[in-house]
Amino acid sequence: MKIVTLRDIAEQLNISVTTVSKALKDYPDVSKKTKLQVRELAKTLNYKPNAFAVNLRTRESKTIGLIIPVIVHHFFSNVIKGIISQAEKKGYLVIILQSDESYELEKKQVELLLSQRVDGIIISLANGTAKYDHLNEIIAQGKPLVMFDKIAKMVKCSKVIIDDRKAAYTATQHLIDIGCKRIAHFRGALLPQNSIDRFLGYKKALLDNDLPYDPSLVYICECGDMSFEEGKKNAKQLLEDHDDVDGIFINTDLVAIGAMTAFQEMGVKIPEDISIVGFSNWFMSSVISPSLTTINQPGFEMGKRAFKQLFKEIKARKKEKPFEPKTVVLETDLIVRTSTKTNIT
């Protein structure tokens, strides 16, 4: 199928290519009659503007890059939906890449996006990311960068986050309020800032309520946020190590569901023997039995806000206006379900 060009329209109407271009852009120095003729013929011939040529002229690719640790994840899938919902309104294509929690792969993906001349990049860091040269390179090239969820505080760019410490404190405080005295924590890997902050929120809630912090009650999920099996493994290990734990705050819902599965297999009653609070509010957390008390993390809204911030910075860069990085903090809330006791002892 032949691609229709401005020259094809110009030749059929016996006018210049410049006049066709101006007519399509509604320039005032082109007559209404000519504009109407050009537009009707363009529609008949199914003319489409040459996006590459437009991008060269405007210095925009109308594409952005999105790097996330995992795609098959309730939270990240909601973030993607939020980003795309806003990007489509502004005519942007989103290139989605998965780092698979690998620092090396994340670096290569940043290089790929820069080579594709994207207008900006949104990223949630891999668990293994401890160096930030590749992120600073984005900024050095004058490209807007927005981080969300798993961020690096030392990188000077905009961020869209929740208050992970506050959310974890709320989750742990709920367990304390229903009478739990020995509260364990299944945390994420050591590096991600959100994993660190959730641990610190858990610890502070204990100390604020005069409950001792016991490091032996903290179990690390080395495989990241997606490990159902690691949730099961840690639950079994917890029962071997401690027979007096009556509450657990778990870093993500999928790990929590793995732990609940293991407890049920071993005859541990939830919430009668152990109350459990998760984090994220996956769809599955509301349909399992017992249903999972969890922190609702606003993934869709986080995606929307991340794109809106990136778009502002893309526009500022195009106009050669300076912009200061901004940190947007979204609210979370505790959703109480049946994995935690309803009675306060």
Task: Give the residue range(s) of CATH 3.40.50.2300 domains in the chain.
Answer: 59-162+299-331, 164-297
Closest CA to 123 of 140, 151, 147: 147
Beta pairing, strands 218-220 & 183-187: parallel
> What local confidence, expressed as pLDDT, does residue 57 receive?
56
**DSSP category for residue 3:** P
pLDDT 10s digits, 63-110: 999 999 988 778 999 999 999 999 999 999 999 999 999 999 999 999
**Is residue 52's pLDDT more than 60?**
no
Assigned superfamily of 6-49: lambda repressor-like DNA-binding domains (1.10.260.40)
Neighbour tally for 103: CB within 10 Å: 16
Mean pLDDT, residues 331-339 taken together: 97
CATH number among 3.40.50.2300, 3.50.50.60, 3.40.50.920, 3.30.70.920, domain 164-297: 3.40.50.2300
Distance CA 18, CA 6 (A): 9
Exposed, middle or buried: residue 320 (CB in 10 Å: 0-12, 13-18, 19+)?
Answer: exposed
CATH number among 3.30.300.20, 1.10.287.3610, 3.40.1190.20, 3.40.50.2300, domain 59-162+299-331: 3.40.50.2300
> What local confidence, expressed as pLDDT, does residue 60 receive?
73
Question: Is the backbone of residue 30 left (phi > 0), alpha (psi -120 to 50) or beta?
Answer: beta
H/E stretch holding 264: helix 253-265
Half-sphere exposure of 323 toward its Cβ, with a 13 Å CA cutoff? 24
pLDDT 10s digits, 279-330: 999 989 999 999 999 999 999 999 999 999 999 999 998 888 888 899 999 9
Beta-sheet strands, E only, within 173-322: 183-187, 218-220, 247-250, 275-280, 293-296
Distance CA 227, CA 100 (A): 13
Here the tokens at position 290 are 């017992």
Task: Give the residue range(s) of CATH 1.10.260.40 domains in the chain.
Answer: 6-49
> What local confidence, expressed as pLDDT, does residue 176 receive?
98
> What local confidence, expressed as pLDDT, does residue 95 receive?
97
> What local confidence, expressed as pLDDT, does residue 276 receive?
98
Distance CA 193, CA 150 (A): 6
> What local confidence, expressed as pLDDT, does residue 290 receive?
97
Residue 25: pLDDT band with limits 50, 70, 90: confident
Distance CA 158, CA 123 (A): 11
More confident residue, 203 or 48: 203
